Structure 1
Amino acid sequence: MDKKTPESPDAAETAQPEPLDENGVAEAAAEAQIAAIVEAEREAEAEEAVVAEAELAAEVEEPADDEVAEAVEAEPEPEPAAVPAKAKPVKKAKPAARKLAVLGSPIGHSQSPALHRAAYEALGLNWEYDAVEVAEDDLADFIGGLGSEWRGLSLTMPLKQTVVPLLAEVDHLGEQTGVTNTVLLDDGVVRGFNTDVSGIVWALEAAGLESAKFVHILGGGATAASALVAAAELGAERVDIYVRSLERSVWLEPLAHELGLMVRIRALSQADRSLDIPDLVISTLPGGVSTAALYTDSTRRRSVLLDVSYDPWPSILASAWQAVDGRVVSGLAMLAHQALLQVRIFVSGDPLQPLDDEDAVLAAMLDAVGIDATGSPLAE
């Protein structure tokens, strides 16, 4: 019988048991756990590094609070606005003085200085206004010799027509009448205006006469032309002009026709022979001149008289009207209203531009010559 060889032992029987640690855990398992812990720690560290990087980037973009505070502290604070010390009230200086004057011959009786001075005082203007005797032959030299301090001139007889050729510009009423009573010296330009027309109209309206269909005008001089235009503005249809010289007054006829008026020019002595009673009589005769035209009592009671002359006052005609309690408007009223327009021109260069507080200015002017708003003398 063959000799049998002995069989190889099983692997389970031949494998050596794994060594155990002091806690009875196999060493291989412990190593695996340690490796896992180490890996987890590495991952945690990596995450912490990423977070730290992000935080660092944020710190670079936005300064820390304490840095912001330091920057704010470093910025200089705005200086507080200075509180002005309580200043003493300073009076406004009056504008530089300008010179003005009324020219004519004779001129000593003129009330224009009183009117204009009252106006400029009311307006707070440091302006001078005087009366200067100037004859027709001297007017051109007088105007040519005026300095830059001169602002304007008022003109009375006999200069209202003489001045026209000396003017660079003339307003519409000046052109229409051929008469200029106001000169504005405007930066070297000599400009002329007629304020007599509106002076007549405004004075009569202030006295209560707003219209007149039939008008008598006494006198054929420069002021008669303004009276003719004023009559047209009051709605006149017919005007009779009574003059001392027919030959010297025919120049008024074309103006009347231009205004659409029926006109007759007659001798002064015929003025009171009119069968029709006029609504208005305007006398442009010089002061102190006597006239045979005294009119009837009936006419003087029913017609309004405007006597442009105011010196002496009452005039012969005004006395006749007053004797029968007729309505009389003093030439001072016309003078005051036309002067108000002159003041407008001298102040603004425009007769249509009202003055500041114009009612108060006019009141001061009227008071300066002793008349009320209707043109009547103030009671003493």
Structure 2
Amino acid sequence: MDERKRTDEETAEPAVLEDDGELTTGAEADDEPAVEDGVSEASAEAGIAELVEAEREREAEEAAVAEAEEALEREEPKDAEPVAEPEPLAAKPAAKAKTAKPRKAAAPSRRLAVLGSPIQHSQSPALHRAAYEALGLDWSYEAVEVTEDGLADFVQDLGPEWRGLSLTMPLKKAVLPLLAESDRYAEQTGGANTVLLDGDSLRGFNTDVVGIVRALQAAGLEEARYVHILGGGATAASALVAAAELGAERVDVHVRDLTRAGWIEPLANDLGLRVRIRPFSQADRSLDVPDLVISTLPGGTQTEAVYTDSTRRRSLLFDVAYEPWPTALARQWEAVGGRVVSGLAMLAHQALLQVRIFVSGDPLQPLPDEPDVLSAMLDAVGIDEQGAPLEV
């Protein structure tokens, strides 16, 4: 039974589905594609082609993903993964130190100096350095030994990094022919203690006058009608102008050599002052007690000027010298309880004006946070706001 059924199935002609849905058999189907297991060869080939194409697309996608991952790995630093690894962490501070080192070694943006001979005792470097540090300026300030004969060559050799100079005697007068312009006080006194290098020209200033006035005002002396001045040099000229600024009407100037004091009277007349020029030995021969005695004598100088105890108790002594301290006159005043102002006070206040000039070019332009700057300068030379030595 089974054998017969299988024979019949093998001899029977297969049926083919026509486009119109009807079945044909036998020779009618000879022109149609062969079919195996109910699927035509064309359909099978198309299916295989689709599978091959799908496989190719999958392989292409995988290759694209692999290429993208490789590109990403190439862009990232190889040591970025271990954040806590010691080598990358150590490399960063090293790089910072490398960039910071040139800033420390770099030359100051401005150079300044005080010139004179002798100059080793000068307190100007301490004052100016304290000021520039308080202002946050990386400026240098040094003391340089320069004689009157060498001043012109020294100034001529200065480079563009130089901003200004402070001058002591005997350079205050020697510098005048080198200046393109001078302020009023330099013209009145015939000396400049400050030089501003303004491009190719030199501008001269005298800050001693205002330095004296400000130091005395800080000590509580607002005016002085009658003044004694000891000495006949360049600082005495500044003291004479300062006396006029304080409202003086009469000034007695005591000098060692009367023949070298011819400049005093013309200047006093220009300032509207009545002046008497006398030798040291007649310093305290007047019945009138001066409000102020200004000594412009160098430190350690012995003088014939002798003041009574009464005068020393009632007059304020301003001694421009500060090395050595106390001077002989200062000791005489202190012995009877008299008031004394050290020359360091004048030096600090005139230096403050110099700093104004070097920073802004204008002695009338206050500095940023100027009270703090002045306080730093006073501390640097060991005096208080009134010019008295600080207690150690």
TM-score higher than 0.5:
yes
Match among 260, 264, 267 for residue 272 of structure 2: 260
Q: Is the 8 A contact 1:217 1:284 kept in 2?
A: yes
Residue 301 of structure 1: aligned partner: 313
Residue 123 of structure 1: aligned partner: 135
Q: Is the 8 A contact 2:281 2:304 kept in 1?
A: yes
Root mean square deviation, CA, Å: 1.7
User: How far is the alpha carbon of 1:213 from its aligned partner?
Assistant: 0.3
CA–CA distance in structure 1, aligned partners of residues 315 and 262 of structure 2:
26
User: How far is the alpha carbon of 1:268 from its aligned partner?
Assistant: 1.5
Amino acid at match of 2:273: L
Q: Is the 8 A contact 1:99 1:150 kept in 2?
A: yes
Residues 37-65 of structure 1: CA deviation (Å, up to 9, x unaligned): xxxxxxxxxxxxxxxxxxxxxxxxxxxxx
Residue 361 of structure 1: aligned partner: 373
Residue 249 of structure 1: aligned partner: 261
Structure 2 SS opposite 1:160: helix
Amino acid at match of 2:201: V
CA–CA distance in structure 2, aligned partners of residues 243 and 142 of structure 1:
33
CA–CA distance in structure 1, aligned partners of residues 201 and 152 of structure 2:
14
Residue 68 of structure 1: aligned partner: none
CA–CA distance in structure 2, aligned partners of residues 166 and 259 of structure 1:
26
Query: Does 1:180 find its partner at 2:192?
Result: yes
CA–CA distance in structure 1, aligned partners of residues 253 and 155 of structure 2:
33
Match among 292, 310, 322 for residue 280 of structure 1: 292
Structure 2 SS opposite 1:272: coil
Residues 110-163 of structure 1: CA deviation (Å, up to 9, x unaligned): 000000000000001111101111111111111111111111010111111111
Could you tell me the TM-score, scaled by structure 1's length? 0.75
Residue 377 of structure 1: aligned partner: 389
Q: Is the 8 A contact 1:214 1:239 kept in 2?
A: yes
User: How far is the alpha carbon of 1:202 from its aligned partner?
Assistant: 0.2
Q: Is the 8 A contact 1:184 1:349 kept in 2?
A: yes
CA–CA distance in structure 1, aligned partners of residues 375 and 273 of structure 2:
35
Identity of aligned residues (%): 75
Residue 239 of structure 2: aligned partner: 227
CA–CA distance in structure 2, aligned partners of residues 303 and 358 of structure 1:
31
Match among 342, 346, 359 for residue 334 of structure 1: 346
Amino acid at match of 1:303: S
Amino acid at match of 1:288: G
Structure 2 SS opposite 1:183: strand
Q: How does 1:25-44 map to 2 (within 5 A)?
A: none
Match among 91, 102, 119 for residue 107 of structure 1: 119
CA–CA distance in structure 1, aligned partners of residues 125 and 352 of structure 2:
12
Residue 133 of structure 1: aligned partner: 145
User: How far is the alpha carbon of 1:177 from its aligned partner?
Assistant: 1.3
Greater C-alpha Rg: 1
Residue 155 of structure 2: aligned partner: 143
User: How far is the alpha carbon of 1:208 from its aligned partner?
Assistant: 0.3
Structure 2 SS opposite 1:285: coil
Match among 217, 221, 224 for residue 229 of structure 2: 217
Residues 341-380 of structure 1: CA deviation (Å, up to 9, x unaligned): 0000000000011000000000000000000000000111
CA–CA distance in structure 1, aligned partners of residues 284 and 166 of structure 2:
34
Q: Is the 8 A contact 2:281 2:306 kept in 1?
A: no
CA–CA distance in structure 1, aligned partners of residues 181 and 348 of structure 2:
24
Amino acid at match of 1:192: G
User: How far is the alpha carbon of 1:294 from its aligned partner?
Assistant: 2.6
Amino acid at match of 2:256: R
CA–CA distance in structure 2, aligned partners of residues 171 and 272 of structure 1:
35
Amino acid at match of 1:254: P
Structure 1 SS opposite 2:281: helix
Residues 172-221 of structure 1: CA deviation (Å, up to 9, x unaligned): 11111111100000111111000000000000000000000000000000
Structure 2 SS opposite 1:273: coil
Mean Cα deviation higher: 345-354 or 266-275: 266-275
CA–CA distance in structure 2, aligned partners of residues 274 and 105 of structure 1:
37
Query: Does 1:240 find its partner at 2:252?
Result: yes
Q: Is the 8 A contact 1:218 1:242 kept in 2?
A: yes
User: How far is the alpha carbon of 1:96 from its aligned partner?
Assistant: 4.8
Amino acid at match of 1:368: A
User: How far is the alpha carbon of 1:272 from its aligned partner?
Assistant: 2.1
CA–CA distance in structure 2, aligned partners of residues 379 and 209 of structure 1:
23
CA–CA distance in structure 2, aligned partners of residues 99 and 339 of structure 1:
16
Query: Does 1:344 find its partner at 2:356?
Result: yes
User: How far is the alpha carbon of 1:166 from its aligned partner?
Assistant: 1.1
Q: List runs of 5+ in structure 1 lacking aligned partners.
A: 1-89
CA–CA distance in structure 1, aligned partners of residues 152 and 328 of structure 2:
35
Q: List runs of 5+ in structure 2 lacking aligned partners.
A: 1-98
Structure 2 SS opposite 1:239: strand
Q: Is the 8 A contact 1:294 1:320 kept in 2?
A: no
* Greater than 4 Å deviation, 4+ residue runs: 93-96
